[in-house]
Amino acid sequence: MLKISIKKKKVKMNKERRATAKAVRMDPDTVLIVRDLTKIYTVGNSTITALNKVNLTIRRGEFIAIVGPSGSGKTTLINCLGALDFPDSGEIIYNVDSKGMGLDLMLMTNKQHKKIRLRKIGLIFQFYNLFPILTAYENVELPMVIDKKDSKVRKEKVRGLLKKIGLEERMEHLPAQLSGGEQQRVTIARALVNDPLIILADEPTGELDTETTTNILKIFLDLKNSGEALLMVTHNRRIAETADRIITLTDGEFTGEVKGGKPIEEIYK
């Protein structure tokens, strides 16, 4: 009985999505537009507004940090933008063809949704989320395998990225044979492997010491300088100060924004 009702709901959602997915024009340099994003969790009789009408525009080559204490809605934001969770209302418009054709994540067909997740969004998590039985090389390669990329193209890309993040020598290692910082570098390579529009990082340095954190931030700044868009959420204000823009998230709402750009060498002074 339960199975049947779940199936029915899924079909209905597909129909709704297909009926409403429409392209909108956007500035080609804009990667993502978020409008009035709201997410409400219901637990028993109570509701929690994890995100309340959040608005944000991210451009190419922009590094944005969102700072807020535990429970302020950071992970919920990353999960909604990263197509891992569905918001209750609002718009998440991605520049899907990189030329200014915008599509709302919530109104896409299942096929478009899957493609965006695989090709346009690079996710980095606090606890790395690597497959323990795959080597560093295989972990980085996996999104390309899922995307059915040719094996020669895969090899060149994966090796190039591992070299770029300084892990060429470690590519046959399993995650358990790597340090935290090395594992996080593998996830950065994995996030980049399908040339995403944006990198979304949830507390990417939360488990790392200061020296390793500095190395990860250097990689982020290199990516930014090569035109990548990055959105990082963190409870750590010091780390956030290296970003171009620092936005404060309080109880699910954006409550302030300041300019960042502090040199990495100065964040721990």
Ligand X SMILES: Nc1ncnc2c1ncn2[C@@H]1O[C@H](COP(=O)(O)OP(=O)(O)O)[C@@H](O)[C@H]1O
Site for ligand X in 76-105 (CB under 6 A): 76
**Burial (Cβ within 10 Å: 0-12, 13-18, ≥19) of residue 140:** buried
Q: If binding is defined by CB under 5 A, does position 95 make contact with Mg ion?
A: no
Rounded-to-integer distance, Cα 58 and Cα 26, Å: 12
Among 64, 35, 117, 28, smallest CA distance to 230 is for: 64
76 binds, options Mg ion, ligand X, none, Cβ within 5 to 8 A by partner type: ligand X
Number of residues engaging ligand X in binding (CB under 6 A): 12
Site for Mg ion in 123-142 (CB under 5 A): none
Between 115 and 235, whose beta carbon lies closer to ligand X? 235
Between 76 and 135, whose beta carbon lies closer to ligand X? 76
Joined together, the tokens standing for residue 120 give 């346009």
The correct pick among 75, 183, 215, 248 for binding Mg ion (CB under 5 A) is: 75
- Taking the CA atoms of 129, 82, 157 and 163 in sequence, report the sign of the dihedral they define: negative
Report which residue type is found at 47.
T
Minimum distance from residue 50 beta carbon to ligand X (Å):
4
Between 221 and 239, whose beta carbon lies closer to ligand X? 239
Element (H, E) at 164: helix 151-164
Minimum distance from residue 82 beta carbon to Mg ion (Å):
13
Instruction: Indicate the pairing of strand 30-43 with strand 46-59.
Output: antiparallel
Site for ligand X in 28-87 (CB under 6 A): 41, 43, 48, 50, 68, 70-76
Minimum distance from residue 153 beta carbon to Mg ion (Å):
35
214 binds, options ligand X, Mg ion, none, Cβ within 5 to 8 A by partner type: none
Helices and strands (H, E) in the chain, number of each type:
8, 11
Minimum distance from residue 241 beta carbon to ligand X (Å):
18
Minimum distance from residue 252 beta carbon to Mg ion (Å):
13
Minimum distance from residue 137 beta carbon to Mg ion (Å):
29
Between 182 and 203, whose beta carbon lies closer to ligand X? 203
CA angle 116, 228, 73 (to 5 degrees): 65
With a CB cutoff of 8 Å and minimum separation 6, the contacts of 194 are: 118, 119, 122, 143, 144, 147
Question: Are 173 and 180 within 8 A, CB to CB?
Answer: no
Between 67 and 197, whose beta carbon lies closer to ligand X? 67
List contacts with Mg ion (CB under 5 A): 74-75
List contacts with ligand X (CB under 6 A): 41, 43, 48, 50, 68, 70-76
